[in-house]
Amino acid sequence: MNREDEMKDLLDTPPPPSRKPWYKRFGLGGAVTVLLAILKWKTILSFLQGIFFLFKFSKFGLTTVSMFAMIGVYAWFYGIWWAVGFVSLIAVHEYGHMYAAKRQNIPVTAPVFIPFLGALIGIKEPPKDAATESIIAYGGPLFGFLAAGVVHTAAYVFQSTLLFSLAFTGYLLTLFNLIPASPLDGGRIASAVSPYIWFFGIPLIGLLIWFSFSPILVLVLLAAIHRAWEFWKHRNDSYYDTDPRFRLKIGIAYLALLLASGVLTYETHLIAEALRPRL
């Protein structure tokens, strides 16, 4: 093709149509689309504001958020139903502490759930003595043990591997929390009997770390050593003066719960293993 033909083709090509301004190109359909988007966004925003308002003025707002977050984390690893059951067992344990504190007229906060750490409640007013502290501490493992018992019974009824696994986990959590070393529940219960028992519980935590290393166990061990050292420096504090009759009662209750948790942890472990599908 020569230069003359190229010029002819350019002259024959119609110029591109002029573009209308954006507000004219938008049209009725675009206006309707934007209106619907705005209404939808306002609906979503109103919903989020309502949720925020509910959590802000609800005593259990942070509890609800952290609980669902914890379920989501464990569901990612172990499945939704195991996560729901596990977090529910922890919740019952914490509400046991709340119930016991309420009976002792000690104000506490609602529990906050922390994945891989458990849950905790805040005590707004420190207990007046070791006996009061031991009662509040005992409420958690007791409620947790009873909750595991309910799951255990349901596991027998339905012959469910999942429920046996959850029952085992519930008993094991109770057993772990009963190790007599503060800040674990067992240590705070033992403080009403004799804080010197802590010096037997601390090596147990060290033994657990030796066989199954965990950063959480290391933190518990460090906290237990610190608490034992603080007690040793103030070992004549009247805080630990406990009525002998109460000391006997809480000691028997502690040993009974410890023994029952140990036996049932072993039993549910055997059953769960027997029911587990083999490859």
Q: What is the pLDDT of residues 57-104, one digit of tens each?
A: 445 577 888 888 888 888 898 889 999 999 999 999 999 999 999 999
Same domain, 37 and 123: no
Same domain, 97 and 157: yes
Cα 80 to chain center, whole Å?
A: 14
Same domain, 68 and 2: no
Say what the pLDDT of residue 278 is. Answer: 62
Same domain, 70 and 114: yes
Q: Express each pLDDT in 221-264 by its tens digit.
A: 999 999 999 999 888 888 888 999 999 999 999 999 999 999 99
Nearest to 99 by CA among 134, 129, 143: 143
Same domain, 32 and 155: no
Q: What percent of the chain has pLDDT over 70?
A: 77
DSSP 180: S
Say what the pLDDT of residue 225 is. Answer: 94
Same domain, 122 and 175: yes
Helices (H) and strands (E) in the chain, counts: 11, 2
Residue bearing tokens 């934007």: 34
Same domain, 152 and 20: no
Say what the pLDDT of residue 277 is. Answer: 67
Give residue 145's identity as a one-letter amino acid code.
F
Nearest to 143 by CA among 87, 95, 192: 95
- Using 50, 70 and 90 to split pLDDT, how confident is the model at 47? very low
Q: Are 71 and 83 in contact (CB under 8 A)?
A: yes
- Using 50, 70 and 90 to split pLDDT, how confident is the model at 133? very high
Q: Are 234 and 140 in contact (CB under 8 A)?
A: no
Residue 134 has pLDDT above 50, yes or no: yes
Ranked by mean pLDDT, the top range of 43-47, 105-109, 173-177 is 173-177
Same domain, 254 and 222: yes
* Distance from C-alpha of 183 to C-alpha of 191, rounded to nearest angstrom: 10
Same domain, 131 and 216: yes
Same domain, 65 and 166: yes
Same domain, 71 and 187: yes
Same domain, 12 and 67: no
Its domain, for residue 174, covers: 61-275
Say what the pLDDT of residue 8 is. Answer: 43
* Distance from C-alpha of 164 to C-alpha of 155, rounded to nearest angstrom: 5
Residue at which a domain ends, from 32, 57, 82:
57
* Distance from C-alpha of 70 to C-alpha of 64, rounded to nearest angstrom: 10
Residue at which a domain ends, from 10, 42, 57:
57
* Distance from C-alpha of 254 to C-alpha of 25, rounded to nearest angstrom: 79
Give residue 209's identity as a one-letter amino acid code.
I
* Distance from C-alpha of 263 to C-alpha of 269, rounded to nearest angstrom: 10
Domain count, the chain: 2
Q: Which residues contact 52 (CB under 8 A, 6 or more apart)?
A: none
Give residue 214's identity as a one-letter amino acid code.
S
Residue 128 has pLDDT above 80, yes or no: yes
* Distance from C-alpha of 57 to C-alpha of 222, rounded to nearest angstrom: 37
Residue at which a domain ends, from 57, 83, 101:
57
The model's pTM is 0.75
Q: What is the dihedral of CA 44, 48, 54, 57, to 10 degrees?
A: -140
23 or 200, which is more confident: 200
